Amino acid sequence: MLSTVTGVRPEATTREERIRQRSAERRSVQRAERRRSILDAAATLFLEHGYERFSLRQVAEEIGYSPTTIYLYFSDKDDLLFHVAMDGFGRFGEELQEACDGASEPLEKLAAIGEAYVEFGLTNPVHYRLMFMQRGEFLEREPPEGYESVIDSFGILTRTVEECLEAGVIEDGDTLAYAAMIWAAVHGVVALAIATPYLEYERALAVHRLTARSLIHGIRS
């Protein structure tokens, strides 16, 4: 039976709507995949060339698109690398939170967070460089749209330190001072491993664990 208003069968309209919806979903998936390929290529090329020699043209050539396509997603190379860093912050925070949640005692949580920090830095040197070594000012920028929910990684550390203080398992002291000291210790190991050829993965982990044991022994109450 035809629609009395349009003369179009209702089932035909529904079918056309489904086709349009599937087409829109397919375009959305393709756009997300293209954006992901740009971010992945940027991370690889940044590691290879460094900031000064990195360019959007290199990214375009790497993934087989024109430079114009890159500009549909990112305004310039700084914007692209900022998004690469934001991807890193998201995964970094998730891994720290997962490590923290997997421990039960406050000091165990502190140790787990330190281990997760070093593991992330050693296995994600591109993101770590952008986050904490070469573009530290990214920390001060407003997150781009879609990254508002990035977990506060420093907040995870400070809350864990506060938990240790409240439980009386470390000496009384300033929460932020404790957190900064721990951050400096783990960052030092990761930065040294990334910047020099002398600390390969296993040795860097061993150095971190030795440092962590000494640090925790020094602050226990």
Residue partners of 121: CB distance under 8 A and separation at least 6: 128, 132, 186, 187, 190, 191, 193, 194
Mean pLDDT, residues 58-83: 87
Would you tell me how many other CB atoms lie within 10 Å of the CB of residue 175?
15
pTM of the model: 0.78
pLDDT of residue 27: 57
Residues belonging to the chain = 221
pLDDT at 8 over 80: no
Range scoring the smallest mean pLDDT among 136-140, 145-149, 160-164 = 145-149
Mean pLDDT, residues 126-144: 79
Mind listing the pLDDT tens digit for each residue in 19-36? 666 655 565 666 777 888
Q: In the 8-state DSSP scheme, what is residue 137? A: G
